[in-house]
Structure 1
Amino acid sequence: MSEHSLKAVSRKDEGKGASRRLRHAGVIPAIVYGGKSEPKSIQLEHEPTWLAQKNEWFYSSIIDLDIDGKVEKVLLRDMQRHPFRQLIMHLDFQRVTAGQALRTRVPLHFINEDTSSAGKAADVVVTHELNEVEISCLPKDLPEFIEVDLAALELGQTIHLSEIKLPKGVEIPELKLGKEHDVAVVVARAGRVEVEEGAEEDASADVPATKVEKDEE
């Protein structure tokens, strides 16, 4: 599990007016909650946080959040963005307790698709039905992503949740809910063969115009 960190400072001013002032100053209002401590209002500098959120780990990894020099391990639980500007409006972080299992979503990385028989065939369409999955594990076992190896993928094959090879200590809670929750992750289907325009033309289309006119006299 890689280590990632962000810096923050605590804040006392709350409310819409205070949050608006922070945003105008290039600062993101946020909150940290969970664990045995009370919720804490904090703020983060927008520019370094904006750069961090461009990375996949920002959404699925445990982050060392340095608040006033004291580090708390957290997971991002919610991020509010401006509808059209490159602006983060608010962040919610949840504290992580070392010996307590957590549930979060992690991305799926599909590997070896290009070298599989399905991936190399021009008339086969490989569809990724899921791009992330919810897992349960202890914080120490949390992966940044889960690889799905498609090296053996063939035409007509479907890979389900239960077939994903999970890291040690990681499980998918949805699979405990019954077989109907063992949904497809990857499907290799035959692609539609497109008929070229003009391939099925009318026989009369090949008849010279002069011949047609003569026959109609």
Structure 2
Amino acid sequence: MELTVTTRKAEKKNDAKKLRREGMIPAIIYSEGKSGVTVGVSAVEFKKVLDRITPGALPAIVFTLMIEGKKIKAIVKGIQYHVTSYQVIHLDFIELHEKTKVTLNVPIVCQNVVDCAGVKLGGVLRQVVRHLKVRCLPKDIPTQFDVDVKDLELHEKLMLYDVPLPDTVEPRMSLDTVAVAIGKR
């Protein structure tokens, strides 16, 4: 996904407030070994991006940031929302480098929930873990991990080690954790 960003000077807190009044989101692009670059992202453009992606998928989306004629690949590492309006008020991006591995959270998506045997018997599907922390090269970043729950019966569970992982992705959390469980109402 492409986003156009503009450089900005961040000298005072009022600068960020002024930027927000102009319809921009203050952001910082962090890069290994460099100080962060302060930028502004169009609030309207970023809202369109959020509307297009699946809830929870933002940490695994690779953005192409257009900044002063250059293209930078980056992921969102942090996002701040306004307390009452829930509008995005700040973003933190991490620049991706081709040969440097990155650690990120990738969403776990349950497939065939409607056809789940345990749900048909009156059970409730509980997704205990919604993201799996992994480490990989930028070219190998998965958008999501699909877990088929069709054959789960009442009182059965899927563990994180049951989530199919590509060989290019290494988990960064314990796989002995319940990911999905079917329980009674």
2:103 alignment partner in structure 1: 103
Q: Pick from 169, 184, 189 the counterpart of residue 178 of structure 2.
A: 184
Residue 166 of structure 2 is aligned to residue 167 of structure 1? yes
Do the aligned residues in 2 keep the contact of 1:28 with 1:89 (CA within 8 Å)?
A: yes
Amino acid at match of 2:13: K
Do the aligned residues in 2 keep the contact of 1:108 with 1:147 (CA within 8 Å)?
A: yes
1:28 alignment partner in structure 2: 25
Matches within 5 A, 1:28-177: 28-54=25-51, 55-56=53-54, 57-122=57-122, 124-175=123-174
After superposition, the Cα gap between the structure-2 partners of 1:87 and 1:128, relative to the gap in structure 1 and judged at 3 Å, is closer
Residue 5 of structure 2 is aligned to residue 8 of structure 1? yes
Do the aligned residues in 2 keep the contact of 1:101 with 1:138 (CA within 8 Å)?
A: yes
Do the aligned residues in 2 keep the contact of 1:137 with 1:171 (CA within 8 Å)?
A: yes
TM-score by length of 2: 0.90
- Which stretch shows the higher mean deviation, 39-48 or 110-119? 110-119
- The CA deviation at 1:86 is 4.7
- The CA deviation at 1:111 is 0.5
- Which stretch shows the higher mean deviation, 136-145 or 7-16? 7-16
- Please give the per-residue CA displacement for 1:81-124, whole angstroms capped at 9, x wherever unaligned: 111125321111011111111111111110022223212212x2
Amino acid at match of 1:174: M
- Within 2, Cα distance between the matches of 1:126 and 1:30? 37
- Within 2, Cα distance between the matches of 1:132 and 1:159? 14
Structure 1: which 5+ runs fail to align? 176-180, 193-217
* % same residue: 26
- Please give the per-residue CA displacement for 1:11-50, whole angstroms capped at 9, x wherever unaligned: 1243201111111111111111123443211111111112
- The CA deviation at 1:128 is 1.1
- Within 2, Cα distance between the matches of 1:58 and 1:132? 11
Structure richer in helix, relative to its length: 1
- The CA deviation at 1:52 is 1.4
- Within 2, Cα distance between the matches of 1:134 and 1:71? 27
The CA RMSD over aligned residues, in Å, is: 1.7
After superposition, the Cα gap between the structure-2 partners of 1:166 and 1:40, relative to the gap in structure 1 and judged at 3 Å, is same
Do the aligned residues in 1 keep the contact of 2:64 with 2:74 (CA within 8 Å)?
A: yes
TM-score by length of 1: 0.77
